[in-house]
Amino acid sequence: MMETQKRMLEGRIIDTIKTVYDPEIPVNIYDLGLIYELNIEDDFTVKIRMTLTSPNCPMAEDLVREVQEKVKITSGVKDLDFNLTFDPPWDSEMISDEAKLELGLL
């Protein structure tokens, strides 16, 4: 039962994250591959490890804040453990095939 709840919550979180876009690229941050890790603990604390396309991203604060705010209010999330990292550095190979098609990269 708990695993089913966790899978359902993960789906809601992914759908929520897919509403966040890097303003310079017309693709959501999930399909860009900016979410390195998404785990849900047994107490429904969500752990997210995320990166940005560049450490010098001018929208860094806004993107991070938007992800944090939206995930925290997702139904079923008890708490959020958020970590921004640049290791490994993001590159275009992390973009989903669907997003590559959308961007004309395939």
Question: How far is Cα 95 from Cα 72, in angstroms, rounded to an integer?
Answer: 25
8 A C-beta contact, residue 44 and residue 77: yes
Enumerate the domain spans of the chain: 2-100
Neighbours of 101 (CB within 10 A): 11
pLDDT of residue 62: 92
H-type alpha helices, 1-106: 2-17, 60-72, 97-103
pLDDT of residue 106: 77
pLDDT of residue 57: 82
8 A C-beta contact, residue 84 and residue 52: yes
Q: Does domain 2-100 have CATH number 3.30.300.130?
A: yes
* Single pTM value for the model: 0.91
In terms of Cβ atoms closer than 10 Å to its own Cβ (0-12, 13-18, 19+), residue 81 is exposed
pLDDT tens for the chain, 106 residues long, are: 789 999 999 999 999 999 999 888 889 999 999 999 999 999 999 999 999 998 888 888 999 999 999 999 999 999 999 999 999 999 989 999 989 988 888 7
